[in-house]
A = this chain, B = another copy of it.
Amino acid sequence: MARIIIDKNSSRKEVILTKAASLFREKGYKAASMRDLAESVGVEAASLYNHIKSKTELLHEICFGVANRFMHKMEEVEGEKISPIEKIEALIRFHIDEMILHYEEVYVMDREWKHLSDPYLSNFQNQRRMYRKRFAAIIEQGISLKNIKPIDASTAVLILLHAIGGIESWHRSTQKISAEALTANMISILIGGIAASAKG
């Protein structure tokens, strides 16, 4: 019985988090009110506070939930015995999968993180800086091995991450091209560029 109550509570909070991510994406964190959120959950605004501490808590749970998954994947990929290019491809694929499976959360992390407040804000910025640094290090390895052009690695990281994060149609189930085709296109363009190669 206690178990049932706990399960009920935790699933209630998960519903609130999901609806919050959706609202924050649609209207932006500041423009989305707790009354909006309450309505979409189906309770009065005051009732939300039986499950959460504050609006800000929702934002940082969304942001760190996503950020932690990316960090975990980075650790995993770094440990694999594959080439730098293969590591980059694995990371790109993971980013795309995250966009497909958790579009709202990833979008909110990407565009609304600046509304975090300060223990969390600096923490988030540090974590993001570390992630990009480690991503850039993989590119540098590829450059050393001459599998990657001698480009500025941190510029390349920003291009890759924003190119993926900017695709807006991930969440639509009915899209002009399938997720697989989109993924193949992304990888092809980001790794190989848009120019036709001499080899055909």
Please report A residues at the B interface, Cβ cutoff 8 Å: 27-31, 85, 88, 111, 114-115, 139, 142, 146-149, 151-152, 154-156, 158-163, 165-168, 176-177, 181-182, 185-186, 188-199
How many subunits of this chain does the assembly comprise? Answer: 2
Find out whether the CB atom of B28 lies under 8 angstroms from the CB atom of A196. Answer: no
Asked if A197 contacts B198 (CB within 8 A), the reply is yes
Q: B189, A156: Cβ atoms under 8 Å?
A: yes
Closest to A152 in B: B185
Give 19 new A-B contacts, CB below 8 A, not counting A159-B186, A198-B198: A28-B28, A88-B194, A147-B195, A148-B194, A148-B196, A149-B188, A149-B189, A149-B192, A149-B197, A152-B177, A152-B182, A158-B167, A162-B163, A162-B165, A163-B166, A165-B166, A190-B193, A193-B194, A193-B195
**Is A197 a contact partner of B197 (Cβ separation < 8 A)?**
yes
A189 to B150, CA, bound (A): 10
Contacting pair B166 A161 (CB below 8 A): yes
Expressed in whole angstroms, the minimum distance between the Cβ of A150 and any Cβ of chain B is 9
